[in-house]
Amino acid sequence: MAGYLKRDWEPFPMDTIKRVDKPTTRIDEDKVKRVSERETGFCKAAAGDYGPKLQKEVRRFVEKHPLSAATAAIRYAMKPLVDGLVAIQKAPLPDDPALLSRHIKETAYFLRADAVGICELPQYAVYSHKFDFKNPDAPPVPIELKHKYAIAILVDQDYRTSQAYTGSDWISNAMSMMSYATSGFIAIILADYIRRLGYPAKAHYAPFYDIVVPPIILLAGLGEMSRIGDTVVHPFLGPRFKAAVVTTDLPLLPDKPIDFGLQDFCSKCKKCARECPSGAISDGKKEMYNGYEKWPLDKKKCTGMRVGNQRGSGCGTCIKVCPWSKPYTLFHRAVGWAMRHSAIARRFAIWGDDLLGYGKPDYKNKWWFDLEDVNGNGVLEIPKNVKSEFEER
Ligand code: SF4
Ligand code: SF4
């Protein structure tokens, strides 16, 4: 096993990132109240809290582009597999949580995860109630989840595509749904594998989460909270990912949170606030909310843009423009290293990002068709805001 423990194995050099005992975002754990899933933006839209127009639009905003619809549909097909029977006898595994953690992470990478981290599951990160998105009038169902650990799995939304799109055009939702479905696929297999080893495990992925994802990613050492409200930024992927989680009682060794200078960077950068089409992101200071110190996000405005966008499908403009969302090339690794280690480099990077035109759509990489199911009957049309599939806006 000595060779096994020595070789390089993670896609990104997370061992070079500074580990800290507490997350860089203050969390007053005794003050955080468990929230119902109904309080999330999409559920509030589905329940009619944001008015009848968004309540109607929330029924079609995923399905209106055919690739978004296809990548979203598979998530519902996988749902019966999130939990299941546990083997009657525990497998003969090493009695070493560090080795088991390493094995679980390598399994997730084998299943095509882009980043994996482990934390203890805090009860405040478990939703109090489940909301039935397809039946919003049904009473919310209380959630009880006592697993000890959470394994966070991140899947990249694809840099090449994110380079090509505007942030809120017709591919945006498909990028989200692809990462939701793929991370869910990995979580389902990983949870099934752990149950076959003799330990309880459950997969959580969009829209079937029993848990609040951002604090889990944060505690699992995969990123820091950013100016984009509840969005966590990874040191090598930026905010360009979606996440699934496996909760389990398999004895694991939690990772520590990380500090790569993002709080300082976000306090000065503000590019996402400047570029957000709905004005949902604050350019001000952090505030305390439900025990978390974070930059406030106007959930209603953001949901209104993502659900009600009439010139595209969804929105990920903040994800596209963030200077931390870069390809994993030698040049960007060197710039990222400097950004992590020097406040002067951070200032220079903020200035240079705009100067070099990052955040603007690069149509030479466009590969998708702009199509819309206008009437919800499966008939696809070229959307009104584009004249042909490859027209440059
Ligand atoms: Fe703004 Fe779009 Fe990001 Fe929402 S998803 S915060 S609307 S840029
Ligand atoms: Fe932070 Fe700038 Fe990224 Fe916004 S765009 S999350 S301010 S680094």
- Taking residues 341-368, report their average pLDDT: 89
Report d(CA 51, CA 145) in Å as an integer: 33
Q: State the closest ligand 1 atom to the C-alpha of 303, by its place in the atom list counted from 1.
A: 4
Q: Count structural domains, the chain.
A: 1
Q: State the closest ligand 1 atom to the C-alpha of 279, by its place in the atom list counted from 1.
A: 1
Whether 378 is covered by a domain: the verdict is no
Q: Ligand 1, atom 2: nearest CA belongs to which residue?
A: 315
Q: How far is the CA of 132 from the centre of ligand 2 (A)?
A: 33
* Confidence tier at 8 by pLDDT (50, 70, 90): confident
Residue 391, φ and ψ in degrees, nearest 5? -65, 140
391, pLDDT greater than 60: no
339 lines ligand 2 (CB under 6 A): no
Note the pLDDT of residue 390: 54
Report d(CA 98, CA 261) in Å as an integer: 27
Please state, for a pLDDT cut of 70, what percent of the chain lies above it.
Answer: 96
C-alpha 146 chain-centroid distance: 23
* Confidence tier at 388 by pLDDT (50, 70, 90): low
Instruction: Please say whether the beta carbons of 305 and 277 come within 8 A.
Output: yes
* Confidence tier at 4 by pLDDT (50, 70, 90): low
Ligand number with the minimum distance to the CA of 275: 1
Whether 379 is covered by a domain: the verdict is no
Whether 74 is covered by a domain: the verdict is yes
Instruction: Give the model confidence (pLDDT) of 48-93 as tens digits.
Output: 999 999 999 999 999 999 999 999 999 999 999 999 999 999 999 9
Q: How far is the CA of 359 from the centre of ligand 1 (A)?
A: 14
* The Cα angle at residue 56 between residues 52 and 61, in degrees rounded to 5: 135
Q: How far is the CA of 332 from the centre of ligand 2 (A)?
A: 16
Q: How many angstroms separate the Cα of 42 from the Cα of each of 62, 133, 306?
A: 11, 8, 9
The whole-chain average pLDDT of the chain stands at: 94
Report d(CA 244, CA 14) in Å as an integer: 19
Token pair 């200035």: residue: 351
Q: Ligand 1, atom 7: nearest CA belongs to which residue?
A: 302
Where is average pLDDT lowest: 151-160, 224-233, 278-287, 334-343? 334-343
Note the pLDDT of residue 2: 54
- Domain span at residue 249 reads 16-365
Amino acid at 65: H
Instruction: Give the model confidence (pLDDT) of 324-353 as tens digits.
Output: 999 989 988 888 898 988 888 888 888 888
Q: Which residues contact residue 333 at a Cβ distance below 8 angstroms, ignoring those fewer than 6 apart?
A: none
260 lines ligand 2 (CB under 6 A): no
Whether 376 is covered by a domain: the verdict is no
Start-to-end Cα distance in the chain: 56
Token pair 């843009």: residue: 305
Q: What is the DSSP letter of 234?
A: B
Whether 153 is covered by a domain: the verdict is yes
Whether 93 is covered by a domain: the verdict is yes
Q: Which residues line ligand 1 (CB under 6 A)?
A: 228, 276-278, 280-281, 302, 305-306, 315-318
- Taking residues 278-307, report their average pLDDT: 96
322, pLDDT greater than 80: yes
Residue 169 CB-density burial (10 A; 0-12 exposed, 13-18 middle, 19+ buried): buried
227 lines ligand 2 (CB under 6 A): yes
Note the pLDDT of residue 354: 87
- Taking residues 115-135, report their average pLDDT: 94
Q: How far is the CA of 277 from the centre of ligand 1 (A)?
A: 7
Whether 219 is covered by a domain: the verdict is yes
Note the pLDDT of residue 89: 98
Instruction: Please say whether the beta carbons of 271 and 350 come within 8 A.
Output: yes
368 lines ligand 2 (CB under 6 A): no
* Confidence tier at 10 by pLDDT (50, 70, 90): confident
Ligand number with the minimum distance to the CA of 265: 2
Ligand number with the minimum distance to the CA of 312: 1
Whether 109 is covered by a domain: the verdict is yes
Report d(CA 332, CA 184) in Å as an integer: 29
